[in-house]
Structure 1
Amino acid sequence: MYFSHNLIKITLLIAFFLSFEVLAISFSINGPNVISELSAYTAKYKVLRGNKEYGNATRALNKNTTSYSLSFNSNASMLFYSIETNQTSTFLWQENKITPLSYQGKDARTFKDDKNLQLNFNHEQSILTVDKNGQKTEKKLSERLLDPLLVYEMIRFEAIANDNNFNVKNLEYRVQDQDGVKEYHFINSGQFVVDTLLGELKCIKLSRLRKNSSRKTHIWLAIDYDYIPVMILQENNNEEIATLVVTSIIRS
């Protein structure tokens, strides 16, 4: 009887883990190339405005025991003003299917209050916990929802899955950020050659456009470096706010 009871418990436990994929609100990456495992990388950047350097940034993807973690950290300073950002996103990956797990983000700026955002994706109970500056709320976890950091890696996954045939002109993603759920809209402008410290790189350029705003974010993904971002330009009213330019990429 004891053996039978334990066998039932083990069977139920296995059934729970097998059913997690069904319970989890995940979604697939469209493309002919199946990515069974993601490759870790660390990319370092310098932060520029005009021709002057004001700081640095690091973007890294690492594989954990059962999940992946993506991080982005940057710091920049000009005279008495400084900006520091730290973001970490964890997620599951299984053959072109992604499942967000958690997100932590902090934005600290001189003369302003820090902005903190924590997200927890509870797929078992279909609950999204949002902790914004210490104020915690819960709501139903909706499908195809990403965090503010993972959304940019999603574009990279789409590019890898389609490789040289990545020609979708418009990309739409739903993102939970500081201001709630937003639609992130990107335009694919095709291939360009970008001059970097790593040499001239053939890239795919994408631009994020915001409704009722003149702010834009342009991203160049290096084709020969697994579509890792090698340059990011933020602008407002067609004027540069800041540019991140890659200085090194380490892949493993």
Structure 2
Amino acid sequence: MNVASAAETAETKPQILPYTAEYRISSNSLTTTATRSLSKRGDNWQLSQHAKLMFIKVSEESIIEDGAMGLRPLRYEYSNNFSSRQDQKINFDWKHALASDKKYRKPWSAPLTAGTYDQLSAQLQMRQALICGRFDTAMVQTVVNRGKHKTYEIEKIGEEIIDSPVGKLNTVKLRRGREGSDSETIVWLAKDWNYLIVRLEQTDEDDTYSLELLNATLNGKKVKG
């Protein structure tokens, strides 16, 4: 391979792209909108989501390392101005293999192993596996939330063309669940748009939660079907 070919290959190598997006969120009988963005912060990724319903503001942010060890969360923060007892600030100390949160109402620390993510970085790692062609039929993730580590299996259940507020989109459809639990999440990701999440439906006992893409800009280009 000559230098020109090598450069071309490097330029066309599939990679995560930054974006900004607006989603409609529904939780049981409540509906609001949320903004989500993925951007570079030095050598790391910053993935954040902000939602507001009347006087309630909920924010999430994950700082994610993208290096030789792949995507690894460094810090995750969750804040709710209506219920601060649920606030979290998880620190992922990979050098000492320890995850901890001193802000949560029940401060905790636990051993940290490879393949452990917070709620947001888990979604980015799932998308990266699809973008880079490393997702075959299933994958396993461990997510830490409020001091609990839960291991999920994500399986590919098909492809589907869906109608959305941005037009018809070619999507891959995934299911996430865990052994011994009836809760599950179905997620649709746009194949032609860097596997951006365009729809998500989650059921957990009597609770339901859904997410639908309203508009987005991916790497400076407006997402449309």
TM-score interval (norm. to shorter):
0.7 to 0.9
CA RMSD of aligned residues (A): 2.9
Q: Radius of gyration: which is bigger?
A: 1
- Distance change >3 Å, CA 137–CA 190, structure 1 → 2: same
Distance apart, 1:137 and its partner CA: 3.3
Unaligned residue ranges in structure 2 (runs of 5+): 1-11, 220-225
Aligned counterparts of 2:111 and 2:167: Cα–Cα separation in 1: 47
Q: 2:124 aligns with which of 133, 150, 153?
A: 153
1:19-168 to 2 correspondences below 5 Å: 35=14, 38-48=16-26, 54-76=31-53, 84-94=57-67, 97-107=70-80, 114-131=85-102, 133-162=104-133, 166=135, 168=136
Structure 1 residue 233 corresponds to structure 2 residue 196: no
% same residue: 22
- Distance change >3 Å, CA 49–CA 149, structure 1 → 2: closer
Which letter maps to 2:76? Y
Q: Determine which structure has the larger helix proportion and give its number.
A: 1
CA contact (8 A) 2:85 2:105 kept: no
Which letter maps to 1:250? T
Distance apart, 1:76 and its partner CA: 4.5
Aligned counterparts of 2:66 and 2:92: Cα–Cα separation in 1: 15
Aligned counterparts of 1:175 and 1:201: Cα–Cα separation in 2: 29
In the alignment, what sits opposite 1:175?
143
Aligned counterparts of 2:68 and 2:217: Cα–Cα separation in 1: 23
In the alignment, what sits opposite 2:4?
none
Which letter maps to 2:49? F
Aligned counterparts of 1:174 and 1:53: Cα–Cα separation in 2: 29
In the alignment, what sits opposite 1:242?
209
CA contact (8 A) 1:34 1:95 kept: no
Aligned counterparts of 1:48 and 1:85: Cα–Cα separation in 2: 14
- Does the residue aligned with 1:156 lie in a helix, a strand or coil? helix
- Does the residue aligned with 2:124 lie in a helix, a strand or coil? helix
Please give the TM-score of this superposition, normalised by the length of structure 2. Answer: 0.79
Please give the TM-score of this superposition, normalised by the length of structure 1. Answer: 0.71
How many residue pairs get aligned? The number is 208
- Does the residue aligned with 1:89 lie in a helix, a strand or coil? strand
Distance apart, 1:96 and its partner CA: 7.9
Aligned counterparts of 1:49 and 1:128: Cα–Cα separation in 2: 29
Deviates more, 1:172-181 or 1:88-97: 88-97
Structure 1 residue 201 corresponds to structure 2 residue 169: yes
Unaligned residue ranges in structure 1 (runs of 5+): 1-32
Aligned counterparts of 1:75 and 1:185: Cα–Cα separation in 2: 31
Aligned counterparts of 2:207 and 2:107: Cα–Cα separation in 1: 35
- Does the residue aligned with 1:90 lie in a helix, a strand or coil? strand
